[in-house]
Amino acid sequence: MTTLINLALYQIGWFCCVLGAAHGYAVTGAFCALALCGLHLLLVKNRGTELRLMIQACLLGAIIDSTQQAVGILTFTVDSAWPFWLPLWVFVIWAQFATLFRFALSWLQGRYLLASLFGFVGGPLAYYAGVRLGAANFSDPIWLSLACLGVVWAAVTPFLLWLARTGQPGTYRSFN
């Protein structure tokens, strides 16, 4: 049940961010997803460890997505209400993604090559879905953007898994 709740919170948050950005409600979508991150933190047994991983993922994501945007791999849909170089919803998606590593993706722990393959395929697919929904755009040629994303995510996924290695697997509190 923990895995299903974790996946549901992540997926709903992802859609809040991406669809919010695509339809002109980027900040609203980000705050909705941030509320889901808060709910996740309320449910976990070790909040400090989980929050630390979420912050580390946000910082890593800011560096990675800023760099990708700066070199022209992709551009994110922005909201004029958010004055910074990277949209708020991008930070929140990284925090949301971090919530998976001690829960739904804990089965990858210690399997860094598999995690790399998972990132190589899954990372570009997630960005592609975001682009198709209107939250970002790839530069031409698209295949080059996807290949660059694949290489980045082949490194990022095992690294985040390594950061999440303490306290495995994550559990939610029981409210019986």
Q: What is the rounded CA–CA span in Å between residue 89 and residue 137?
A: 15
pLDDT tens per residue, range 60-110 = 999 999 999 899 899 888 766 666 678 999 999 999 999 999 999 999 999
pTM of the model: 0.90
Decide: residue 41, CB within 10 A, 0-12 exposed, 13-18 middle, 19+ buried. middle
Contact of 31 with 93, CB cutoff 8 Å: no
Q: Give the domain ranges of the chain.
A: 2-163
pLDDT tens, 12-41? Answer: 999 999 999 999 999 999 999 999 999 999
Q: How far is CA 107 from the centre of its chain?
A: 18
